[in-house]
Structure 1
Amino acid sequence: MARTIVDIFIPCFVDQLFPETGMNMVKVLERVGCEVNYNPNQTCCGQPAFNAGFFDEAREVATKFLDDFSNETSHYIVAPSASCVGMVRNAYQDIFVKSSNLVKYRTMQKKVYEFTEFLTDVLGVTSIPGASLPGVYTYHDSCSALRECHIKAGPRALLSNVEGLDLVEMVDNETCCGFGGTFAVKFEAISVAMAEQKVENALATGADYIVSTDSSCLMHLEAYIQKQKKPIRTMHIADVLASGW
């Protein structure tokens, strides 16, 4: 039986700040039988420029993404970030709407998946052999995962099969963490207050970990946790699924 071939996209946040998350995604994908390819020419999906209103610059970066990940094969494109996947699936439609690259983009659009979504919806995997992490976790639904990619049940299904890990849902688990890219810079006070609310809701569950699909959300929450010396940790779901083996 032919192995499923995956081209991975490693987002800026993961590449620069959390490279172990990218490596753990590869570890898990290989564990479930995938052949993983990495194109070292890849850079950014263009989301920072697009969200800041620099549409020409975003189009330039998006075009490079399209060139880096377009090929004649049917490889899947998988990323450990619903934020980046949401950008490619949704914002690229506006970027390329009047472009000669539109047809090329439509072909690629169908192949782009967030990591957990790919495991559950494409491969039909809800359990990673050997995954174990003792403790209690609470889950943060990132805005991009929930609203742009419609991801909710899949990550919880995967985590429910991690040996020793128990879920306690927090209040307002679908509420934004306050990061929002440049929002955290432009509206610092509001952003910090939203992080505080999210962390306090997580602490109220008694959880050891806040788990999510997006390193950007977790970075924002972890900064608040460390500054305020709160007794909880953040973990990307790829890091959780790669634990214990």
Structure 2
Amino acid sequence: MTVSLFITCLADMFYPEVGESMVRLLHRYGCEVDFPEGQTCCGQPAFNSGYQDEAREVARRLIRAFEHSDYVVSPSGSCNGMIHHYYPHLFRNEPEWAAKAEAFIAKTYEFSQFMVNVLGVTDLDAEFPAKATYHPSCHGSRLLGIKDEPAALLKGVRGLELVELPHKEDCCGFGGTFAVKMADMSEAMICDKANNVVSTGADVLVGMDMGCLMNIEGRLNKEGRPIRVMHLVQLLEEGVNRRERNRV
């Protein structure tokens, strides 16, 4: 099948290696991956700041970019949450674009959802000997309902000890524009999140959204905590490569 990569702004600007890992993993399972160059932001920052007209124009551009794609896959629950949850609202008074938005939504997936629910893959034959804890991002879990898919993929990783994160459902405090507008509250939230991560004794923190990971990693680094922060895609690809090396 042909899959189009929706890279998202944060992955494009700060974490391109996440997109690269995702492409290599999809290739392993027979997917041809393309990259529509017309893609841009999903419109979430403008939408969250109250600029709905501007968000609508950005959304139109994104829909056009992927109009001919069979599947659209992204390493972000946040951007996918924006598409699935708010695009119908943006185009509620425009029947033609509402239909295009629904068609876009129907073929757009967050990475773990696509792997588990579309490809039917839970065990990637990966090996990653470490103690890890998992942070479920707000938009992925609350807007998209992602709960079992990341756990299924992590469970299949040999040597990985997964420890429950206390108060895992609590926001890390990033929230895009929220961290700028409500800086004091955001800082209090990330301090709590970092303390909970440290309390697990984990070597690795795993997540699915670059905004959350960037925020948590920044706090852990500021506190001098030597905990590795990884996107789920990175851990899986590194685990697959380790397993292959150990076979040689």
Normalising TM by the smaller chain, what interval? over 0.9
The runs of at least 4 consecutive aligned structure 1 residues that moved more than 6 Å come to: none
1:77 aligns with 2:72: yes
1:87 is matched with 82
Aligned-partner Cα distance in 2 for 1:209–1:193: 22
Unaligned segments of structure 2, at least 5 residues: 242-248
2:109 is matched with 113
1:29 aligns with 2:19: no
| Alignment RMSD | 1.0
1:102 aligns with 2:103: no
2:185 is matched with 190
TM-superposition CA deviations, 1:144-195 (whole Å, max 9, x none): 1110010011101101111221100011111111101111111111111111
Question: After the TM superposition, which of the residue ranges 150-159 and 100-109 deviates more from structure 2?
Answer: 100-109
Any residues of structure 2 matched to 1:1-245 within 5 Å, and which? 4-71=1-68, 75-99=70-94, 100-129=96-125, 131-244=126-239, 245=241
Deviation at 1:231, TM superposition (A): 2.4
Letter of the structure 2 residue corresponding to residue 144 of structure 1: H
Aligned-partner Cα distance in 1 for 2:30–2:182: 44
Report if aligned partners of 1:32, 1:128 keep a CA contact under 8 Å in 2.
no
TM-score under structure 2 normalisation? Answer: 0.94
Partner of 2:238, secondary structure, is: coil
TM-superposition CA deviations, 1:61-82 (whole Å, max 9, x none): 00000100112x6x11100000
Letter of the structure 2 residue corresponding to residue 10 of structure 1: I
TM-superposition CA deviations, 1:64-110 (whole Å, max 9, x none): 00100112x6x111000000001111110111111131112211211
Aligned-partner Cα distance in 2 for 1:27–1:58: 31
Letter of the structure 2 residue corresponding to residue 128 of structure 1: L
Aligned-partner Cα distance in 1 for 2:81–2:234: 21
Deviation at 1:126, TM superposition (A): 0.3
Aligned-partner Cα distance in 2 for 1:24–1:225: 24
